Amino acid sequence: MSNGLNLSPIKILLMLGLIIFGLISTLAIANSIKTAKILKNSSINSQFVIQELSEPISPNNQWIINTTQAQKLATEGATILDARSCKIFQRKSLSNATCISWKEFSQPQLPFKGKLLTDDKILTEKLQAIGISNHKPVIVFGDTINGWGEDGRIVWMLRTLGHQKSFLVDGGFAALVKAGFPTVKLVNNSPPVRGDFVVNRSKNWQISQNELKANLENNNLVIIDT
């Protein structure tokens, strides 16, 4: 009787397979560790940059634009409005921006305080004076951290009065500065080139109290308390 191992050819093949599998696994682990070290070392002097894609702007269903889209409109000659307070505007703002306050276009006395002025001729005059034109898109920006949504109010007003190519910028003034828009300090609030916009009110963006009451039972009605 032999004291040596009596292995069948099948067992020998299985053992060889296990040895080869072990070698492959070891090499794979070593390669992973090496790759991880390379990535770790290379990340020290590298910076991952997310490039914002520019998408076509659709005025009919888009009110908010990103900084890339704002840059495109600006190069096409868009009117730029700073909806922050004019005191902040005078300290620092974007080049070619014009200061605007929603209160200038609103009724000052109760019980209608805050509602848009009713005289379209006065509104037309005020909007033309700040450079609003029919053929030029309008970019509105505000202070998204300390503001009260003034930029949204201005865009709503412009669209309600008939200027459908008006947009507010996601991220406001800070985002535009970060994106590289040029700024100026101690802004001279000189009047811009007069525009030619004429008010032509749209009923799509407002509702009266009576209309709201009549539709309170409508399941498709959504009311947002801001």
Any idea where the domains of the chain sit in the sequence?
18-45, 64-202
Domain with residues 64-202, CATH architecture: 3-Layer(aba) Sandwich (3.40)
Q: Is residue 27 predicted with pLDDT exceeding 80?
A: no
- DSSP for the chain reads ---S----HHHHHHHHHHHHHHHHHHHHHHHHHHHHHHHHHHGGG----PPPPP----TTT--EE-HHHHHHHHHTT-EEEE-S-HHHHHHEEETTEEE--GGGGB--STTSTTSBPS-HHHHHHHHHHTT--TTS-EEEE--TTT--SHHHHHHHHHHHTT--SEEEETTHHHHHHHTT--EEES----------------STT---HHHHHHTTT-TT------
Asked if 212 and 172 count as a contact pair (C-beta separation under 8 A), the reply is: no
Preceding peptide of 56 cis, ω within 30°: no
Q: Please write the tens of the pLDDT for every residue from 38-96.
A: 334 443 343 333 334 456 676 667 999 999 999 999 999 999 999 998 888 888 999 88
Spatial distance between the Cα atoms of 78 and 91, rounded to a whole number of angstroms: 23
pLDDT for 7: 57
Q: Is residue 151 predicted with pLDDT exceeding 70?
A: yes
The confidence band for 18, taking pLDDT boundaries of 50, 70 and 90, is: low
pLDDT for 38: 37
Q: Please write the tens of the pLDDT for every residue from 104-139.
A: 999 999 999 999 999 999 999 999 999 999 999 999
Average pLDDT of span 134-158? 95
Q: Is residue 140 predicted with pLDDT exceeding 90?
A: yes
Q: Closest Cα to residue 78, out of 52, 66, 96?
A: 96
Check the CA dihedral 10-14-17-23 and report its sign. Answer: negative
- DSSP for 88-114 reads HHHHEEETTEEE--GGGGB--STTSTT
pLDDT for 153: 96
Q: Please write the tens of the pLDDT for every residue from 197-210.
A: 999 998 888 888 88
pLDDT for 98: 94
Distances (CA, A) of 190 to 130, 132, 222: 10, 15, 42
Asked if 173 and 141 count as a contact pair (C-beta separation under 8 A), the reply is: yes
pLDDT for 19: 58
Average pLDDT of span 213-225? 86
Q: Please write the tens of the pLDDT for every residue from 166-200.
A: 999 999 999 999 999 999 987 776 778 999 999 99
Asked if 132 and 193 count as a contact pair (C-beta separation under 8 A), the reply is: no
Distances (CA, A) of 221 to 65, 162, 212, 213, 215: 26, 24, 9, 11, 7
Average pLDDT of span 131-160? 96
pLDDT for 78: 97
pLDDT for 110: 93
